[in-house]
Amino acid sequence: MKITGIELRRIAMPLVTPFRTSFGTETERDVLLVRVVTPDAEGWAECVAMSEPLYSPEHVDGAAEVLRRFLIPALPADADAYGAGRAMEPFKGHRMAKAALETAVLDARLRAGGQSLASFLGASADRVPSGVSVGIMGSVPELLDTVGGYLAEGYVRIKLKIEPGWDLEPVGAVRERFGADLLLQVDANAAYTLTDASHLARLDEFGLLLIEQPLANDDMVQHAELAKRLRTPICLDESIDSAAHAAAAITLGACSIINVKPGRIGGYLEARRIHDLARAHGVALWCGGMLETGIGRAANLALAAMPGFTLPGDISASRRYYATDITPPFELQDGYIGVPTGPGIGVDPVQDVLKEVTTATEWIPF
């Protein structure tokens, strides 16, 4: 099965509400989609790079450029996902761009063979528990109303974004309002330093599942030191961009939980390597989110259905972020979302919707 061409498609997806974190506020996603075309099937993938290099050094314009100039020209026409990974390996970094191309190739191959991504990865569940990530709000009452709304919809876990000045009070208010049984965790997106250890230790009283990425992404040693000072488990996100980094973090004691985002680590093959490593060392996993459309959400559901993903992830219903998704919408049912069972990622774009939100396309023939 040879690749005949690859399409890079940009779409503009307005968010239902602005999403604020410690590194910025998003109101619309400028999404790069990759479509790999073969005589037997088409494969789809979503690049999760943001418009600006705030979450990571990557950004969507840069991802499109590195795909166009370097990664796609290096790809053998008969490559499978493993071959795609080998072809891209000489190029440093750009894991989100690499993940998109590898995943689109993998999706095309699996569709041609009639196998689902969930089956390929070794998933053991047909549905996954759904948590929701709540951005930084303008006030505590607004936050409480928002959290209450998500709990009424059936979400089984709440994640609160925090930053200096927005941490103890909102977390305490949510815990007090919704009780000790609420599965609650926080995400700092690297907003603190080790000098804040005593302050962060005050979060221990709220019985959190975890505190995610409290320190800078390159501070594994300081995360290990912070872990000694907190009862709350530390989860790493931005610090983990490969299985090798996951192994280093585990060895150092920098975390006891890992948030796996396939785009951040270079794709689903590397995500499976981290899964196997973490299970061997008793480290809990959960699948994070990057405000994906249905294309990225479908693939993440397959990953989150693997047996090592024991904590609820950030894979929420489509309407959490988008009034109209580019695929048939994913719906929340009793706190869970079903894992697609069709070939590949198991979903296809709705062509009328896709056409409406498309801002640019580029066809690269092989």
- Residues classed as catalytic: 161, 261
Which amino acid makes up residue 315? I
CA dist 25 to 17, 107, 161, 213, 337, Å? 10, 32, 12, 18, 27
- Tokens 């999403």 — which residue? 19
- Amino acid in position 118: A
CA atoms within 13 A on the CB side of 339: 23
How would you list the strands of the sheet with 284-287, edge to edge?
A: 131-134, 157-161, 183-187, 211-212, 234-236, 257-260, 284-287
Decide the pairing of beta strands 358-365 and 127-129. Answer: unpaired
For 220, other C-beta atoms within 10 Å of its C-beta total 21
Work out the widest C-alpha separation in the chain, in whole angstroms: 60
Structure tokens at 349: 């774009």
For residue 108, give every residue at least 6 positions away whose Cβ sits within 8 Å of its Cβ, in sequence order, or none. Answer: 1, 3, 36, 37, 38, 40, 41, 42, 43, 344
Q: Are 36 and 3 in contact (CB under 8 A)?
A: yes
- Select from 109, 120, 101 the least CA-distant residue to 262: 101
Residue 9 belongs to what H/E stretch?
strand 5-21
